[in-house]
Amino acid sequence: MGSNVQPRRVIIDTDGGVDDAAALWWALTDPRLDLVGVTTVGGVVSAAEAAGNVLRILDAAGRRDIPVAVGADQRVGLAPSLRRADFIHGDDGLGNTQRPMPQGLSPSPESARDLMLRLCAEAPGKTSIVALGPLTNLAMAAADDPAWPARVQELVAMAGSARSGGNALPIGEANVAHDPTAAMRVVEAHWARPPLMVGLDVTHRATLTDVEFALLAEQRTPAAAFLDAPLNFYRTYGSTFTAPNCPCHDLFAVLALAEPGIVTDAPVLPLAVDTGMGAAWGTTVVDFRAIAFARVAGSTQEQPAGFHPWRIALDADVVRFRAALRGLFGEE
């Protein structure tokens, strides 16, 4: 990367799980990204516990300067009753590694939404957000300041599923299903450009194989040393839908911001969230008819009420993803 290229300012919103940890390590070690703040939300663990996990990572990475703000545990609206994912991420969110809290580090006194609003106001149009957990904090920030989404350079959300079914519910992805109303409000907010939905369609394809896990076990880098035990714990049940390989959902979302070519197909399509409390509650609904209409001259149909334009990640460069991961783990 040339010296005249400025790294992209980014805020990560996380619920403190194992794949979140891998995503944070990537953001902390990629020179194309400038991680200016981390906010936490209840999901895999509570928002406060997630903040503790983030502080552990920042300490291990030598980046104790980055502010960490605790966000919401409560949901914006009614949500399905979901089993806690401790069997995937461990009771502590980091694969039951029970790492001690670093001395002298604590979360910011600011709330998550206040930190988001402030950091984006400091550099309007030049700060991106990667959301790795339920979208509660983002919905609350947008409610506090409806003009805020337009000041965000780019939003990437690890959320939803277009064609791949669900993981937390039959057709509902976990981050959306945890707070469907928040997801709906984030979908309908007025962002500067259509946000990117990185859902199960790509994260269930971009997986770690035995090759990546063998390299991880060598612990050649600080990231690998930190992530070895958590990722091996996570692999057991995190691979339920992709066995024998293992997804790393949140890492792919951060890579999609840093290295946009890793998403090879992301058409802008109408997106909505089902908040109806029925069998599809917490589902992202993508209107694929627009693709068919575009193929036939003069064939159009009005966008349905409640749908908004998002870029929907549908395919990924899996070879590139695995190569990037091996680089994080120390492959030369």
- The catalytic site residues sit at 15, 249
The residue type of 311 is R
Q: Which residues contact 246 (CB under 8 A, 6 or more apart)?
A: 207, 208, 213, 231, 234, 235, 238, 239
* Strand ranges inside 103-259, DSSP E: 127-131, 152-158, 196-198, 207-208, 246-247
User: Residue 156: is it exposed, middle or buried by C-beta count within 10 angstroms (0-12/13-18/19+)?
Assistant: buried
Q: Are 198 and 252 in contact (CB under 8 A)?
A: yes
Residue 53 backbone class (left: φ over 0; alpha: ψ -120 to 50; beta: rest): alpha
Q: Which residues contact 280 (CB under 8 A, 6 or more apart)?
A: 171, 172, 274
Q: Are 295 and 182 in contact (CB under 8 A)?
A: no
In whole angstroms, give the CA distance from residue 212 to residue 26: 15
